[in-house]
Structure 1
Amino acid sequence: MEESKHVGSAILYGLISIFILLITSSILFSLLLKFTSLQESSLQYAITIVSFITLFTGGFISGGKGKQKGWFLGGLTGFTYSLIVFLFTFLGLDQLFTSEQFIYHICYTLICMMGGILGVNLSRGSTA
């Protein structure tokens, strides 16, 4: 029971950090689009890179909080993020993931796993 609370807490920290970083970057990108002559298509790669960095950071935080099984914590964090986005898209917008979005979310989960692994390894190194 105690370990499941610990896992849930680590995933929650990761998800909160992901959503805070995504909201912040979305505001910055929208301000750039509003007050400059940039077009959304010119920011596509920057938005993708920021998304991957954000998911990596969320996995890193999950792994650091959990201190063990980083691949598992990162994977669950990435999967939970993708599930939340899918439910919002499906229930709110009445759409399913396209094949491109599905591939992105698989990559998000994998990058979150990598962040979780690194988070566990760095948290262990700092306490030893």
Structure 2
Amino acid sequence: MADFSGPSPSPSRPSAVAVLYGLIVSLCTALVGILIVASALSWTPLSERSLPYLTFTIHVLAVVVGALWAARMAGERGWYYGTITGLGYALTVTILALTSAEVTWSPAAFIQGVLLVVIGTFGGVIGVNLKRE
């Protein structure tokens, strides 16, 4: 019978594959969140003043989901896979922001990146403890 449990990393490279999948899941989650918020801003009386809070919420959800996915896929060292996934997401978003808009560097942006890494760590710890069926 076929195994439909999803891709399994090879024993020689579990970290790269798990983190890559976690990062892809994080970015896809963020994209879905962005589309939902953009739709809500267009079709509801939602104010643009709430946009910074909504974007940070999207980032947090994306990192948690990606870290959960990466750590669950790896099956061990959830804190490690969650931290690397959170760091990869924070760096990817920072690079995209710096190349696509007039963004100025601020201590708040650095703190947000550090928070995303810490949140990724917690997501990884939770994800590694989820049972695979």
When normalised by structure 2's length, the TM-score is 0.81
Describe the shift of the 1:94–1:4 C-alpha distance in structure 2 as closer, same or farther (beyond 3 A): farther
Amino acid at match of 2:24: I
Per the TM alignment, residue 43 of structure 1 is displaced from its structure 2 partner at its CA by: 4.6
Alignment of 1:1-128 (within 5 A): 3=11, 5-93=13-101, 95=103, 97-123=105-131, 126=132
Per the TM alignment, residue 47 of structure 1 is displaced from its structure 2 partner at its CA by: 3.6
Amino acid at match of 1:22: A
Determine if contact 2:86/2:116 at 8 Å carries over to the other structure.
yes
Determine if contact 1:86/1:96 at 8 Å carries over to the other structure.
no
Amino acid at match of 2:130: L
When normalised by structure 1's length, the TM-score is 0.84
The number of equivalent residue pairs is 124
Amino acid at match of 1:115: G
Aligned-partner SS, 1:25: helix
Query: Comparing both structures, which one devotes a greater share of its residues to helix?
Result: 1
**Aligned-pair Cα RMSD in Å:** 2.1
Per the TM alignment, residue 96 of structure 1 is displaced from its structure 2 partner at its CA by: 5.1
Determine if contact 2:34/2:58 at 8 Å carries over to the other structure.
no
Describe the shift of the 1:48–1:90 C-alpha distance in structure 2 as closer, same or farther (beyond 3 A): closer
Aligned-partner SS, 1:31: helix
Describe the shift of the 1:93–1:47 C-alpha distance in structure 2 as closer, same or farther (beyond 3 A): closer
Q: Which moved more, 1:33-42 or 1:67-76?
A: 33-42
Stretches of structure 2 lacking an aligned partner (at least 5 in a row): 1-9
Aligned-partner SS, 2:98: helix
Aligned-partner SS, 1:105: helix
Using the aligned pairs only, state the percent identity. 26
| 4+ residue runs over 6 A deviation | none
Q: Deviations over 1:1-29 (max 9, x none)?
A: x5562101110111111111111110111
